[in-house]
Amino acid sequence: MIKRYLEDRVRKDLEEKMVFLSGPRQVGKTTLAQSFLQDESDRYYNWDRREDRKEILSARWPAVPSTVVLDELHKYRRWKNWIKGEYDTHGDRVGLHYLRDASKREVDFLVTFEKKPWFAVECKVRRESASPALKYFGERLGIPYLFQIHLEGKEDLLDGKVRVMPAAKFLAALP
């Protein structure tokens, strides 16, 4: 492929935002866009293909940061409103937070999905009973999954709504 003069600029912009390519027919827009698909999770969809239209409208995007090319999307009559809605909905899908309140209760990690609490993790060196702060925030914020992980010991148990388990086992379960 011939290196396009815009390639480096587009690559830099893709690190921060959506990029739209437009231009006359047969100048290499699709080829340039496809050149940015480098990871297994990256996706290419073409509005001209019926299967791809269904995938686009189902809005099931990769769960990890990925490049998604939506080729020929301008043929969809409501594409501008649709793409704005998708970005507003999925722009920041997963968040990582540290919790601490005025009473100095704290939890090491709160992971959110689509701005809603998903799970919280408290980290300890030794196995201990579940952290009161973890229980408090779990109840107060409605956090569905609560984990307290520890480096020492092999016990894996449920302490109320908190799963207390070895860090190695917790980390091994992550993708």
Instruction: Please state the domain extents for the chain.
Output: 7-90, 94-172
Q: What percent of the chain has pLDDT over 70?
A: 96
CB 98 within 8 A of CB 110: yes
Instruction: Report the pLDDT value the prediction gives residue 91, as an integer from 0 to 100.
Output: 62
| Contact criterion met (CB below 8 Å) for 122 and 134 | yes
User: What residue has token string 């043929």?
Assistant: 75
Question: Ramachandran region of residue 47, left (φ > 0), alpha (ψ -120 to 50) or beta?
Answer: alpha
- Does residue 22 or residue 129 have the better pLDDT? 129
> Residue 96 — pLDDT band, cuts 50, 70, 90?
confident
User: What is the structure's pLDDT at 1?
Assistant: 63
What does pTM read for this prediction? 0.52
Model pLDDT, residue 121 = 96
The least confident of 57-71, 121-135, 156-170 is 57-71
**pLDDT over threshold 80, residue 151:** yes
Q: How confident is the model at residue 83 (pLDDT cuts 50, 70, 90)?
A: confident
> CA 146, CA 130: separation in Å to the nearest integer?
10
Per-residue pLDDT averaged across 99-124, rounded?
A: 91
The predicted pLDDT at position 23 comes to 79
> Which of the four pLDDT bands, split at 50, 70 and 90, describes residue 123?
very high
Q: How far apart are CA 118 and CA 153, in angstroms?
A: 26
Please give the average per-residue pLDDT across 140-167, as a whole number. 93
